Chains A and B, each alone.
Chain A
Amino acid sequence: MPRVVVDVMLKPEILDPQGQAVANALPRLGVSDVASVRIGRRIEIDFTGEPDLDRAREIADKLLANPVIEDFTVRVVEADETVGAHP
């Protein structure tokens, strides 16, 4: 069954201190060619029936993202493409 994936990211102009902290830790792994890291959130939604992108967009706008500081994208994927999906 297809599934809706919502990706939520801080807007580019909002400072991401978590991403900065991760970027600053990378030299300790010997990684020196990363310019920046930004951290967001991925949400997987399973509808009881067919995936409803408009409904998912509404959920994202009202609850999953805070439009003051975050942008989101909504897409449908096959369930076997998603993280942690069981065959």
Chain B
Amino acid sequence: MTARVGVVTFPGSLDDGDAARAVRLAGAEPVRLWHGDAELHGVDAVVLPGGFSYGDYLRCGAIARFAPVMEKIVDASRGGLPVLGVCNGFQILCEAHLLPGALTRNQHLHFRNRDQVLRVESTSTAWTNAFQPGQEILIPVKNGEGCYVADTATLDALEAEGRVVARYVGGNPNGSQRDIAAITNPAGNVVGIMPHPEHAVEALTGPSLDGLGFFTSVLKHLVGAPA
């Protein structure tokens, strides 16, 4: 049976269309979820896409966290539902306390938009099992508030528990502590990533096809294939 992967649209989401396309190219059925949905329509996984939900008012992701669909996603993620938050989606996951730390204004204050090399450091998550440990991938980064911060104890715990999923290589685009580009929760089902895998799934539009691995990973995870 084809896996059904939900893609949430908040007011101000930008990359929901690309995320749904990436899901389709990976071989799954994208299911569009609305921020006001009080149910998840039986999806097997969820992507929170990039954009500027609720205009980034107050703080990025702070208001999206209270959307009805987020309550369901938070509950389901505790039961193991794979959730990938990209960019604004990562910010929402931090605001919802599904991931530790916070994303703050880029240290240099500039919006950064470029193709970025990442090193995949954890391949035991639901969203990265298709990669090799240490594999370098090229996907676009585009953010104004992508500087990952957390206190030292949290950063040390993330490193010790293998929960840093990817780091920036060849230049840190936003000042993130310890070059962190992506992290996961202790169970490995929730992943937040600042750069955009959904923009690197086709030769015509992306710098590589490396982003597709995130979406094929979750399909492998859902059929129970060993990571």
Q: Return the CB mask of B104-119 against A: 1 if under 8 Å, else 0.
A: 1111110000000000
Contact A17:B105 (CB < 8 A) given known A68-B94, A68-B150: yes
Question: For chain B residues 87-123, which have a beta carbon within 8 Å of chain A?
Answer: 94-95, 100-102, 104-109
Q: Is the CB of A14 within 8 A of B109?
A: no
| Between-chain CB contacts (< 8 Å), 7 pairs | A15-B104, A17-B109, A63-B62, A64-B58, A66-B62, A68-B100, A69-B102
Contact A69:B149 (CB < 8 A) given known A21-B109, A63-B62, A64-B58: yes
Contact A18:B58 (CB < 8 A) given known A66-B102, A69-B102: no
* Chain A CB within 10 Å, residue with most, of B59, B95, B150, B175: B59
CA distance A63 to B66 in the complex (A): 9
CA distance A66 to B96 in the complex (A): 10
CA distance A64 to B66 in the complex (A): 13
Q: Is the CB of B102 within 8 A of A15?
A: no
B65 to A, closest residue via Cβ: A63
CA distance A21 to B109 in the complex (A): 8
Contact partner, A14, options B59, B63, B104, Cβ 8 Å: B104
Q: Is the CB of B105 within 8 A of A18?
A: yes
Question: For chain A residues 16-75, which have a beta carbon within 8 Å of chain B?
Answer: 17-18, 21, 63-64, 66, 68-69
Chain A residues positioned under 8 Å from B175 (CB to CB) = 15
Contact A17:B108 (CB < 8 A) given known A63-B58, A68-B94: yes
Q: Is the CB of B107 within 8 A of A68?
A: no
Which of the four size classes fits the interface of chain B?
Answer: 10 to 19
Q: Is the CB of A66 within 8 A of B59?
A: yes
Main secondary structure of the interface of B (DSSP, over half): loop
Min CB–CB distance A12 → chain B (angstroms): 13
B61 to A, closest residue via Cβ: A66
Contact A68:B109 (CB < 8 A) given known A14-B149, A63-B58: no
CA distance A15 to B104 in the complex (A): 9
Min CB–CB distance B177 → chain A (angstroms): 10
Give 6 closest A-B pairs by Cβ, nearest first.
A68-B102, A69-B102, A17-B109, A17-B105, A17-B107, A66-B102
Chain B residues positioned under 8 Å from A14 (CB to CB) = 104, 149
Known: A66-B59, A68-B149. 20 other contacts (CB 8 A): A15-B104, A15-B107, A17-B105, A17-B107, A17-B109, A18-B105, A18-B109, A21-B109, A63-B62, A63-B63, A64-B58, A66-B62, A66-B95, A66-B102, A68-B94, A68-B100, A68-B102, A68-B150, A69-B104, A69-B149
CA distance A57 to B140 in the complex (A): 40
CA distance A21 to B105 in the complex (A): 12
Q: Is the CB of B101 within 8 A of A68?
A: yes
Chain B residues positioned under 8 Å from A64 (CB to CB) = 58
B150 to A, closest residue via Cβ: A68
